[in-house]
Chains A and B, each alone.
Chain A
Amino acid sequence: MSAVVLDVRIETTINGEPRVAEDVWPGESLLYVLRERFGLYGSKNACEQGECGSCSVYLDGALVCACLVLGGQAGGRSVTTVEGVDADAVQKAFVEAGAVQCGFCTPGLVVAAHELLQRVPHPTDGEIREALAGNVCRCTGYGTIIAAVHMAAGR
């Protein structure tokens, strides 16, 4: 096994700001780069396998799991994280509906729910369930999350 070479430079745009990461190991995921290189810990590291959605971010406007994207792939592209997303209505609704317990899934759900409401301003229960099926929550049982998305859609 070769040594861990820290020799990649990533120039990217994060939440509208140009950012540069130096001395990156090529194997670092976008999630790792966001968290440990740029200090944006809002995207969460729950499964790091694309199953739980806790690290959901926008990459050039597309909803992705940051854990499944290599940091280097964000070079020259634009990333929007929970810290930068304009999701006030969703965030307020999550607070009011009681959709937050431990909250580890919440940032990913906020981004995913925001993405849904951009596409479908007034989703049905079924549309909410389908859109958020990639976001695992271990605390709430999801009922309050569905209520929160409806609440946000009503604003």
Chain B
Amino acid sequence: MKVGESVRRPDAPPKVRGTFVYSSDLRAEGMLWGATVRSPHPHARIRSIDASEARAMPGVHAVLTHEDVPGKKVYGLEIADQPVLAFEFVRYWGEAVAVVAADHPEQARRAAGKVRVDYEVLPPVTRAEDGKVLRHVKIRHGDQSARADVVVKGEYEIGMQDQAPLGPESGLAIPDGEGGVDLHIATQWLHVDQQQLAGILGLPKEKVRLTMAGIGGAFGAREDLSMQAHACLLALKTGRPVKISYSRPESFVGHVHRHPGTLSYEHGANRDGTLVYVRARILLDGGAYASSSTAVIANATCFACGPYRVPNATIDGIVVYSNNPPCGAMRGFGSVQNCYAHEAQMDKLATALGMDPVELRIKNALETGDRAITGQAIDGPVPVAELLRRVRSFPLPLGEEGEGEGRELFLPGGVSNTTHGEGVKRGVGYAAGFKNIGYSEGFDDYSTARVRLFVHHGKPRVEVHTAAAEVGQGVALVQAQVAGSELGVTDVVVLNADTRVGSAGSSSASRQTYITGGAVKAASEAVCRRVLDLAESELHPGSELRIENDSIVDAGGKPMVSLATLLGDAVIEETREFRPRKTHHLDPDTGQSDAHMQFAFAAHRAVVDVDTELGLVKVVELATAQDVGKAINPLAVQGQLEGGAAQGLGLAVMEEIQVKDGVIKNASFTDYLLPTILDMPPVKMDILELGDPNSPYGLKGVGEPPTISSGPAIVAAIRAATGRAIDRVPVRPQDLTL
């Protein structure tokens, strides 16, 4: 089990058998079910809450309101502004107002329906233009009054996307009988949950212990608290274990979404295609509470121009509060919205210049040592031009997808059999994108790993313990591969994540392989040094020793002693924290700073068929090239590239949370359209391993870039097929026909 091998996931066998335990599968003796009372208004004053009838219902054990929150009544990842349970006001449709625990989930739901909340309905702020500014990030780079020969302008609108992890928000809180609580939970960051919960519950952290339960996907949706505090409050109140598991409609109001936005751009270039300036105003709707909006807008602003050399940039990124559903983290984190805009602009510019759109991009592609619009010189490989060349060089599909039996599956409209090819036009589009890996703007980003080596049933075993969230991406296996590589031991066990070990930070920002991988590497190296010291003191070898295949070997690879013999009863354990290089705050007036730790790049080519009469789109093929630095597990990397592209396709042509007057109109999988196996085409991939000189093994974060440029390439292809200037996503039939 080594770095660079396509090792099979140890959690896959229980997952295919249905025995893997997810957070919604938990149960305990005497367990109660929680249900949540939610606001039916996007904005209202709470005059009173009467829970007496609900409390008297059969099977009901507790009904809690904000008055029952013993500690901090508000929480939040960046700014504590979101009530645990609403008091005085509700600020979005679906906001939690009270929670109920009952013997049966239906009893809990019905009791929740009997909690009488007297609302004074207030007018909601539902347009971002009318919202209160939460953060305004300014970039003033180069000459602010630069002029250019050729100028193109555009305004682009991005819909609200849902992460839609299949596993619902769920968990089980078990009171310990001594005032503390154990929470089994699916979360992206155990320790930030623990910290927030301790504050809310008014308990020291030691009394709020978290254990990771199986996670059914995350994609940003599990960064903020959802039911965690509610389950703990109910468990502590009733003295009984309490499980909460959201329904799908509830999940749509139970987590934050990708920010919708309006992006106004102006690009100026010389006649030869050299970019002179970009001016942009990016307005994102943060919804009712801050969540991670302040960091999302920083990303949207810092990466506003895409992976191109832009000597002069004037960018204003603004995120506002409104009474719409709260928005926060989703895969791509601010770099998705802006990619639709900057890539549409590059295509517009190519048209205005009479240039090939890929050549225009290559001409302006960032290279090693170039400065981003934040002034930061980008070090390490910056293969933007190479990625574009590679996606262009894949052979195009032949257009035979719609031939023969079952051909309707491969045409726009699919099994609806709406065309036999008439009115169908093909288009090809390109896009490139980039974003930061890890946390930015001076955040103290780190992870902790404990690595233990001992003899188990006569063989050496390594145990790795971190708090890193295995959300499906494969970070548990990455840890095993790293420890296996560093220690030369075949039996590596990764313990379940919990708060008995130090923080790993979040499974976010494509950072976990880098940061927790780095921590496991550091702890493994420390264990390795101790083992070799021990071996040297006992063997007095003439040459340097190392560990290989469970044995101590000499420089020539000759086994000297088995690890099991050397160790005997000894247990060698080391804990290490790993920190990547420091980042810095953005200058508040100019946005100039070395604010980011690592940059990752990807490019996509999309081929689409459009039924121009009905406005239906079939994505025929996606091709991508991405520099992953070093593929720790190539099979897992391919999974990230393909799965991430599917989420990009979703935003481009299908997925949108429809919000009208602050109310979500499609909070179900019937009405919120996720890409199915019929919608997602084959993905051709070219994975580059160019090696980042600063990172463990040269790796780069992998998870997010596939979600950034995939959608914009699809929209470019739709423009190419139809000749229409499409300026909003997801692209709807009426956008292609009216």
Cβ of B119 < 8 Å from any Cβ of A?
no
Cα–Cα, bound, A39→B647 (Å): 33
* Residues of chain A lying within 8 A (CB to CB) of residue B57: 3
Docked-complex contact B25 and A41, CB < 8 angstroms:
yes
Cβ of B164 < 8 Å from any Cβ of A?
yes
Encode contact with B along A39-75: 1 for CB under 8 Å, 0 otherwise: 1111111111101101000000000000000000000
* Residues of chain A lying within 8 A (CB to CB) of residue B639: 98, 101, 139-141, 144
How many residue pairs at the A-B interface have CB separations less than 8 Å?
A: 196
Known: A129-B677, A130-B409. A140 touches B9 (CB 8 A): no
Cβ of A136 < 8 Å from any Cβ of B?
yes
State which of A27, A95, A134, A145 has its C-beta within 8 Å of the C-beta of B9: A95
Residues of chain A from 125 to 147 with CB closer than 8 A to chain B in the complex: 126-130, 132-146
Docked-complex contact B406 and A103, CB < 8 angstroms:
no
Residues of chain A from 51 to 109 with CB closer than 8 A to chain B in the complex: 51-52, 54, 81-83, 90-92, 94-96, 98, 100-107
Residues of chain B from 625 to 653 with CB closer than 8 A to chain A in the complex: 635-636, 638-639, 642-647
Docked-complex contact A107 and B642, CB < 8 angstroms:
no
* Residues of chain B lying within 8 A (CB to CB) of residue A49: 248, 668-670
Cβ of B566 < 8 Å from any Cβ of A?
no
11 of the cross-chain contacts (CB-CB < 8 Å) are A3-B57, A4-B107, A44-B167, A51-B668, A96-B8, A127-B406, A134-B676, A141-B645, A142-B677, A144-B639, A146-B677
> Chain A: interface secondary structure?
loop
Cβ of A35 < 8 Å from any Cβ of B?
yes
Docked-complex contact A103 and B248, CB < 8 angstroms:
no
Docked-complex contact A25 and B472, CB < 8 angstroms:
no
Q: Which residues of B contact A (CB under 8 A)?
A: 6, 8-9, 11-13, 15-22, 24-25, 27, 57-59, 104, 106-107, 110, 113, 164-168, 214-219, 245, 247-248, 405-406, 409-410, 415, 471-474, 635-636, 638-639, 642-647, 668-670, 674, 676-678, 680, 682-683
Residues of chain A from 1 to 22 with CB closer than 8 A to chain B in the complex: 1, 3-4, 6
State which of B25, B110, B410, B473 has its C-beta within 8 Å of the C-beta of A1: B110
Closest B residue, CB atoms, query A27:
B106
Known: A49-B670, A129-B678, A141-B680. A98 touches B638 (CB 8 A): yes
* Residues of chain B lying within 8 A (CB to CB) of residue A98: 6, 8-9, 635-636, 638-639
Cα–Cα, bound, A81→B662 (Å): 41
**How far apart are A84's CB and chain B's nearest CB, in angstroms?**
9
* Residues of chain B lying within 8 A (CB to CB) of residue A46: 166-168, 216, 248, 669
Cα–Cα, bound, A104→B472 (Å): 9
Known: A127-B406, A141-B680. A91 touches B642 (CB 8 A): no
Cβ of A33 < 8 Å from any Cβ of B?
no
State which of B19, B21, B165 has its C-beta within 8 Å of the C-beta of A138: B165
Known: A51-B669, A127-B406, A136-B669. A100 touches B16 (CB 8 A): yes
Docked-complex contact B18 and A102, CB < 8 angstroms:
no
Docked-complex contact A95 and B217, CB < 8 angstroms:
no
Known: A94-B16, A129-B677, A136-B166. A104 touches B22 (CB 8 A): yes
* Residues of chain B lying within 8 A (CB to CB) of residue A135: 676-677
* Residues of chain B lying within 8 A (CB to CB) of residue A94: 12, 16
